Structure 1
Amino acid sequence: MKRNRWIYAVFTILIIGLGLGSRAFSSVLPDTLNTYLGDSLWAAMIFTGCGFLFRKLKTMITGIISLSFCFVIEFSQLYHAEWIDQIRDTSLGGLVLGYGFLWSDIEAYTIGIAACAAIELLVLGIKKRRCM
């Protein structure tokens, strides 16, 4: 499979917008959705970003790389040194590195990446059927 970089770039940008929107409108969203939505979208953005970078990788490998990246970032939040906390105190640093470890984030990352992988596999299956 060879992914279309333009499509993955557009999806990445759309997901970034949705993720920022989920933070902006968190006061009107249900608590359950607030717990998972932003982090699931962040993980989805990582998946589409990996899809953009690694066009020829299988979906499952892309998912594993994406999930590993998300988990490393999340577990890095257990480490608190002055230099990394200063980075986290910036807007971009906080969005990328997060602030504190939460098991719910691990769940959200898994949900977001699993959803993206499922959608990609579904689309690939539809494309294969059309070509037959």
Structure 2
Amino acid sequence: MMKAFFKERLVYFFAVILTMAAGLASRHFGELLPDFVREHFGDALWAAMIYFGIRMIWINRSKELALIVSLLFSWAVECSQMIQTPWLNEVRSTLLGALILGRGFLVMDLLRYAVGILCVYGMDRYFLRNKKAR
């Protein structure tokens, strides 16, 4: 039982790492990607990473709760970009700060986050169903 508990956490940990790597790659190699991918995938992958991180931490909670919490968290971070204080802007001006907190509020980002989270939620449900069938 305990072994399966850690195995599932490890799966989500690797999902976080892979999603993070894909998101960073989409930013770094953006000029090589189609315009649609360059414009939308980075934000969707960021939100997907949040979902996987929440699943890793709350392994025994429902996937639906992870979906809701990750969506609310992502949207809260996006809405926080409307707060423009000198110290927060200073944090956002760094590479790490920009990657985590973003720079400016965009309504489109809310949709990108929702799509990214819904996609990985669907993958999560699909793979769990197939795991149970085995």
1-structure distance, mates of 2:86, 2:7: 40
Structure with a larger share of its residues in helix? 2
Runs of 4+ in 1 over 3 A off after TM superposition: none
2:61 to 57, 74, 84: 57
Alignment match, 2:121: 117
Greater alpha carbon shift after TM alignment, 92-101 vs 119-128: 119-128
RMSD in angstroms over aligned alpha carbons?
Answer: 1.5
- Aligned partners of 1:13, 1:32: CA distance in 2, in Å? 23
State how far apart, in whole Å, the 1-side matches of 2:55 and 2:6 are.
Answer: 9
With the length of structure 1 as denominator, give the TM-score of the two structures: 0.93
TM-score (norm 2): 0.92
Unaligned runs of 5+ in 1: none
Q: Kindly indicate whether residue 95 of structure 2 is the aligned counterpart of residue 91 of structure 1.
A: yes
User: Is 2:19 aligned against 1:28?
Assistant: no
C-alpha separation between the residues in 2 aligned to 1:69 and 1:9?
A: 19
SS in 1 for 2:82: coil
Paired with 1:129 and 1:65, the residues of 2 have a C-alpha distance of 28
Unaligned runs of 5+ in 2: none
Displacement of 1:110 = 0.5
The answer for the alignment partner of 1:12 in structure 2 is 16
